A and B are shown apart, each in its own frame.
Chain A
Amino acid sequence: MVELLAPAGDLEKLKIAILYGANAVFIGGLKFSLRSRASNFTIEDIKEGCSFAHKHNAKVHVTCNIVMHEIDTEEILEYLKELERAGVDAIIASSVTILKLVVEHTKMAAHVSTQTSCTNQEAIAYYQELGADRVVLARELTLEEIADIKKKTDMELEVFIHGGMCVSYSGRCMLSNNMTNRDANRGGCAHSCRWCYNLYQGDEKINPEEDYFAVSSKDLCAIEAIPRLLELGIDSFKIEGRMKSLHYIATIVKTYRTLIDDISMGKLQDFNIYKEMMSKAENRLTSTGFLLGQPTIEEQLYDLDMSIPNKDFVGIVLNYDTKTKMATIEQRNHFVPNSSLEVFGPNHTAIIAINEIYDKDHISLDAARHPRQIVYFYTDYPLEKDDLLRLN
């Protein structure tokens, strides 16, 4: 069965990703990890995360994918051993040193990061000879190129199916470092590819006024490619976004979980149904990237303001008392009494109407307006812990 691999920026997201259908999560530790602004995990968090994951038959992969400078090269093995003791299943790395240490000194699996931009079977063979267990393929590959590679290797393959796309070959972009002195290959990417540029021919500006040249790509959404990827026997489907919200992760994971399960049960529905499910998360504009062929202008992001913010996620269920029918909610966005809410859980969805909202002293509120405020309401619908609520 294919592994659905989800990102997790913290323990809460890790648990939600698994509850909503991920078979594995990837997280960053405090050392050797890109995405430095994601809230990376301490060893204690990792232990707890692994314990939770393993209880739910899921795995934990830890990214150690920085491009190490001389100053970063100390204590790597010690750190890897700590991760192994914490229960980590796999290490994702681009450094051949880290990959080799994982292979030779631990029982964890060694996964070759997409930062290495593996685009062909020969590159995969190199890493296989190094002892790696899996390669995360470059996002520049089309479905047919992936099929070609799959025919020529018995290495485990992981393919990105959703999330942000580097427009440069991953690991080979120095835009951020050169323009802002923030090193993308050590976790400091300033996303310079998403800035607006004027295009010059000699000294003449050739882009129309306010119609900037952009090098950015729309995010990847591989819904339409999933049946073919399943047919090819790809081992793992990866969702990008360790810095994304809880609601985003739950929504995207559940959508792909539903799609994969529907296909495996022979019950594939119209793709628009899955797209509709997904649209409730705060997605940026999406495209199929390279999967269906060389990108056209439809895959490029020219209007850089066209991200789609979403404030519909209003809270997470902490508890539901079946006797009193009172729900305990942690607020995540503003909502008011007398609202219609969509309950969105790992195994169910429903629309409920709520009346009064109360605080901890049972005082009626005119709104749940404070971030992470604990509020209460009555509902006959039996909510479950970790259900998410969003405006209907």
Chain B
Amino acid sequence: MKLICKLNHWDSLNDIAPYIHGVLLEDTKQIEQVEALELIPILMLDQMMFPKEVEDYETLISKVAHTSCLFYITDIGLGHLLKKLGLIERTIFDPKTMITNHLDAQIYASYGFHALGISNEITLKDYKAILEKTGLKAFYQVFGYRLMFTSRRRLVSLYSEKIQKSISLANLSIEEATRLGEERYPICENQYGTKIYRNHLICLLKEILNLPMEYAFLDDMGISSNVFKEIVFLFHSAIEQKDVSSLLERLNRLGLPLSDGFSYKDSVYMKEEF
């Protein structure tokens, strides 16, 4: 199992490098730095691709093909492009919600992907069943705010225009006004659109050793660099088979808003009685 981090606090890379195996990158310029630390650079190409962008992606990918980087994608179209470029075996395909059973997983795996992102809308029991039945290499988020919404629309900018008030895109969250109480969901916008995340952090520290996976992914979004360093250290210790109960005590002392997500509770499948 390899620990992979995505870092908003890029400065902390050197501090956590001894405890991790790879880094998700948004910028090709960072590849060299990550390679120098003997970590796996994984270039994030996690946007949906549009027709006019295909050539740009091809150019970008070809430019970094000589490095050791892997490619992290969410769009099957990029998968097809990477296959044409002979890079499918360096590609992690994570369609977010789509890989939820072993049959679909098998078909995607047979396409030649290096690893697959398993949906976080399923229980850990189902997750394990998929891995046991397929033996594929999995990429799975074990710490951080989980993504739950991706739109091409730039919703914050549109709203800013609507209320005629400038809104900085940093540190934003939304709260449902009438139904759900004071739960805050982080919301981010960039040139590709808008993303909304869960209100609590997923943290699979106590489960991690029992979960088969190639890449355990930790995201530092919304977490201070000091707390994230501690989290990375705890996960590193857990996969080194240190005493998990003491690690959990240290985790609890951080006072983070944690949630199991769908780890143990399947969602409602509203059948035909409606």
Listed in ascending order, the chain A residues whose CB lies under 8 Å from chain B are 30, 36-37, 40, 67-73, 94-97, 100, 116-127, 129, 138, 140-141, 145, 148-149, 152, 167-169, 171-175, 177-179, 181-183, 185-188, 192-193, 195-202, 206-208, 211-215, 217, 290, 294-297, 300, 302
Contacts and interface: CB of A to CB of B under 8 A. Distances in A.
Given A36-B274, A174-B121, A302-B159, 6 more contacts: A69-B126, A96-B107, A127-B76, A172-B96, A174-B147, A185-B97
A207 B49 contact: no
Given A122-B49, A185-B121, A174 B97 contact: yes
B10 interface: no
B211 to A, nearest CB: 16
Nearest to A37: B274
A70 B172 contact: no
Contacts of B129: 70
A285 to B, nearest CB: 14
Nearest to A129: B80
B77 A201 contact: no
A294 B153 CA distance: 8
Interface in B216-274: 261-262, 265-272, 274
Given A201-B168, A300-B162, A181 B100 contact: no
A73 B102 contact: yes
Given A126-B76, A152-B51, A187-B269, A198 B174 contact: yes
A285 B208 CA distance: 48
Contacts, number: 234
Contacts of B152: 140, 169, 290, 294
B35 interface: no
Of B98, B129, B165, B171, the most chain A CB neighbours within 10 A belong to: B98
Given A69-B101, A122-B80, A188 B269 contact: yes
6 contacts: A69-B122, A72-B269, A149-B51, A169-B151, A188-B267, A202-B171
Contacts of B78: 122
Interface of B: 48-54, 75-81, 95-98, 100-104, 107-108, 119, 121-122, 126, 129-130, 147-156, 158-159, 161-163, 165, 167-168, 170-180, 184, 187, 194, 196, 198-199, 261-262, 265-272, 274
A297 B149 contact: no
Nearest to A142: B50
Nearest to B156: A199
B51 A67 contact: no
B179 A195 contact: yes
Contacts of A141: 50
Contacts of B261: 178
B272 A30 contact: yes
Contacts of B147: 174
A229 B147 CA distance: 34
A181 B267 contact: yes
A214 B158 CA distance: 10
A118 B50 CA distance: 9
Given A36-B271, A36-B272, A183-B268, A178 B104 contact: no
A46 B173 CA distance: 46
B97 A171 contact: yes
A198 B175 contact: yes
